[in-house]
Amino acid sequence: MSELDFSDMRAAMVSNQLRTNKVTDARVVAAIKAVARENFVPSERSALAYVDVPIPLGHGRALNSPLVTARLISESGIQPDEKILLVGAATGYAAALLNELGADVTALEVDESLAAIGKAAGIRYVMGPLEAGWRKGAPYDVILIDGAVEAIPAAIEAQLANGGRLLTGLVDKGVTRLALGRKSGQSVGLVSFADLEAVSLPGFTPPKSFSF
């Protein structure tokens, strides 16, 4: 598939998938137009790069649909030079968009094989358990969890600056809702803004309570 074909597909994605679903921030749209998503998809699935579906990556992981990632980034209101922790960076597409917006990005991933794709495209990673965050770079202005989780670990909340924003897909009674919260004191109150299916991330299942 030619570069011209991918460019046309990218333009169609912006027009038909994103602009019609509340992704209208001019800076975010410009970043999406500038980043070649096909570079962050396994080569055998490159034809799916601009389709509005999650893309399987192997090892139980998948790349979020373009709309989910775009909505999370759009709602974050990220400004140049803000410190961002991207949790579940996977192949690096969201990190590339954040870089394009001028953010100072820490891309956290646990799977070396996924990070290898992003590294080939110029993304810099830190490696470690997703649920632990990355304390060395804290505090962060924004923590963006690019996937669906059942709970936000206290370790991640602690790494967010006071007044900072946290965005994620939150699983609530089997339904995934994209949510945004701000830290006040020691807690982050999340408010949903869209019912969209996000891919699951490993390590975030809350411990089971004892039953008798």
- Decide if 54 is inside a domain: yes
pLDDT in tens, 112-170: 999 999 999 999 999 999 999 999 999 999 999 999 999 999 999 999 999 999 999 99
pLDDT in tens, 51-64: 999 999 998 999 99
pLDDT band at 210 (very low <50, low <70, confident <90, very high): very low
Look up the CATH number of the domain holding residue 53. Answer: 3.40.50.150
Q: Is the model's pLDDT at 182 over the cut of 70?
A: yes
Q: Tell which phi-psi region holds residue 81, choosing left (phi > 0), alpha (psi between -120 and 50) or beta.
A: left
Instruction: Tell me the residue range of the domain where 114 lies.
Output: 3-194
Task: State how many domains the chain has.
Answer: 1
pLDDT band at 172 (very low <50, low <70, confident <90, very high): confident
* pTM for this prediction: 0.93
